[in-house]
Structure 1
Amino acid sequence: MPSTSNPDPHVHAGPTDASSVSESVVSPLRASAFWATIALPIVALVLLATGTVSVSLLTTVSFLTAYGTCAVAGHNHSPN
């Protein structure tokens, strides 16, 4: 039997390309979320200490939402 080859060189196998693209996008996002989880409380304290922001329901909910989102998104990152 003759081997059949794909006549279009731009068509690639789906799973390996999709997984490598996915990992190349997910890994930096996960790392950014991990480090943001560490930096957000420090930034919040500095903003509160300098009077840039005040404690209100909106700022508290916004901070907790951002912090929780980063914590969930970055929990699988290993900084090694």
Structure 2
Amino acid sequence: MLSTPNPDPPAHTTARHLASTVSESIMSPLRASAFWATIALPLLALVLLVAGVVSISLLTTAGFLAAYGACAIAGHNHTPN
């Protein structure tokens, strides 16, 4: 008796494809936002310092460096068109 091939892909393959598609649709804008935030954060920090909204302290410096580092890591693979 000959077995007929199953034209339907296995459920785990379909789920993996869906997860990959959703992940890419979420990661692409997140990566782009992080890339541009890495560029804008130093300018924003400078403006906030000059305007007197924030002052230089250990907490603000650590917060800035943490935000900048997270954006730099998240956005490093983005290539703007």
Name the TM tier (shorter chain). Answer: 0.7 to 0.9
Calculate percent identity across the aligned residue pairs.
64
Corresponding residue for residue 22 of structure 1: 23
Q: Which consecutive unaligned segments of at least 5 residues does structure 2 have?
A: none
Partner of 1:71: 72
Deviation of the 1:4 alpha carbon:
6.0
CA RMSD between the two structures: 1.9
How many residue pairs get aligned? The number is: 76
Give the C-alpha shift of residue 2 in structure 1.
Answer: 6.5
Give per-residue Cα distances to partners, 1:23-77, cap 9 Å, x unaligned. 0011111011000000000000000001000000000000000000000000000
Q: How does 1:1-80 map to 2 (within 5 A)?
A: 13-80=14-81
Q: Where does structure 1 differ by over 4 angstroms across 4 or more consecutive aligned residues?
A: 1-6
TM-score (norm 1): 0.85
Stretches of structure 1 lacking an aligned partner (at least 5 in a row): 7-11
